[in-house]
C-alpha cells in the first residue's frame, strides 16, 4: 500500500487521480486550496484519505502538509504536483503581478513540495515524483506564452532533478496532457486585463469568451488517472508521459518540425566552432 500526496484535487485530473488511487486501495493525502471541496473523499475513504487545505504558494502550508501526512501515514511514496491554472495574454499584455502569481503556483509551488518530500525519499532510496506539465511546453500557442513558460520551467527543473535522484532510487515523470474535459478551460483559466488591439487576431483570438473548447475536449480524466498510476508503478515508465491522442499527434508534429528546422541550418550551425 503506497501513500500519495496529490495537489489540486477539487476537480479535473487531480480529483480523478485521487479517486482512482483510493479505490485501488492506496492511501492519499488529498489537497486543494478550499478544503470544503474535498468532503466526499473524507466521507467515502475515512481511513485511507487525509483531506487537507493546501495553497501551494504558501511555503509553511506545504511544510505543514508534509508533516501531517507523515504523522498520519508514516511516509510519502508518490508526490503528484497537479495544482495549477492557465493564463491567457499576449507577452506584451501580461502584468508582473499576474505572471508572478502564475509562476508561484505552477512552478515554485511544485519546487517547494519536491524539496519537502525529498529528504525522506532519499533516506528510504525510493519514491516517485509526477510533475503535471502540458503540451504547451512543447510548442506555444499565441496568448499562452507565460503559461507555457511556467511549464517549460517545470520540465527543465524535472530533467535536472531526474538526473540527480535516479541514482538514489527516485523516479521523476513529467506528465504532458493534451486537452482534457476538466475545468482547465473553464473556471481555471484566467487572462490579462490589458488588451492591445494589434494582437486581436493572435493572442486575442484565444481570450476567454472566444475559447469554445470547454466541455468538448477529447481527453477523459478518469482514463488519464489510470495511466498515471500505471506509469508511477512501472519500472520502465517514460520520463515524458503524453496523455491523449491529440497530445501524441501534436508531439509528433512538433518533433518532426524541429528535426527539419535543425537539418536546414545544420551546416551553418556547425560553422560556429573554433
Residues serving a catalytic function are: 133, 147, 151
HEC string of the chain equals CCEEEECCCCCHHHHHHHHHHHHCCCEEEEEECCHHHHHHHHHHCCCCEEEEECCCCCHHHHHHHHHHHHHHHCCCCEEEECCCCEEEECCCCCCHHHHHHHHHHHHHHHHHHHHHHHHHHHHHCCEEEEEECCHHHCCCCCCEHHHHHHHHHHHHHHHHHHHHHHHHCEEEEEEEECCECCCCCCCCEEECCCCCHHHCCCHHHHCCCCCCCCCCCCECHHHHHHHHHHHHHCCCCCCEEEECHHHHHHHHHHHHHHHHHHHHCHHHHHHHCC
Amino acid at each position: 500500500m503506497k501513500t500519495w500526496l496529490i495537489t489540486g484535487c477539487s476537480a479535473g485530473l487531480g480529483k480523478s487521480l485521487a479517486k482512482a488511487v483510493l479505490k485501488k486501495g492506496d492511501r492519499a493525502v488529498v489537497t486543494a486550496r478550499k478544503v470544503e471541496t474535498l468532503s466526499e473523499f473524507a466521507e467515502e475513504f475515512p481511513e485511507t484519505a487525509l483531506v487537507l487545505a493546501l495553497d501551494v504558494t504558501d511555503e509553511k502550508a506545504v511544510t505543514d502538509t508534509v508533516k501531517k501526512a507523515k504523522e498520519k501515514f508514516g511516509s510519502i511514496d508518490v508526490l503528484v504536483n497537479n495544482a495549477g491554472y492557465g493564463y491567457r495574454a499576449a507577452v506584451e499584455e501580461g502584468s508582473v503581478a499576474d505572471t508572478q502569481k502564475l509562476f508561484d503556483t505552477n512552478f515554485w509551488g511544485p519546487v517547494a513540495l519536491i524539496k519537502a518530500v525529498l529528504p525522506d525519499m532519499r533516506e528510504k532510496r525510493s519514491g516517485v515524483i509526477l510533475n503535471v506539465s502540458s503540451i504547451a511546453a512543447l510548442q506555444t500557442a499565441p496568448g499562452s506564452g507565460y503559461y507555457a513558460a511556467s511549464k517549460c520551467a517545470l520540465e527543465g527543473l524535472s530533467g535536472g532533478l531526474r538526473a540527480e535522484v535516479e541514482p538514489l532510487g527516485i523516479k521523476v515523470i513529467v506528465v504532458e496532457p493534451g486537452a482534457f474535459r476538466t475545468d482547465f478551460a473553464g473556471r481555471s483559466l484566467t487572462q490579462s486585463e490589458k488588451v492591445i488591439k494589434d494582437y486581436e487576431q493572435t493572442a486575442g483570438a484565444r481570450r476567454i469568451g472566444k475559447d469554445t473548447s470547454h466541455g468538448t475536449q477529447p481527453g477523459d480524466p478518469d482514463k488519464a488517472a489510470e495511466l498515471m498510476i500505471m506509469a508511477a508503478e512501472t519500472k520502465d515508465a517514460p520520463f515524458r508521459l503524453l496523455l491523449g491522442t491529440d497530445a501524441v499527434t501534436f508531439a509528433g508534429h512538433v518533433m518532426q518540425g524541429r528535426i527539419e528546422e535543425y537539418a536546414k541550418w545544420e551546416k551553418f550551425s556547425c560553422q560556429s566552432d573554433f
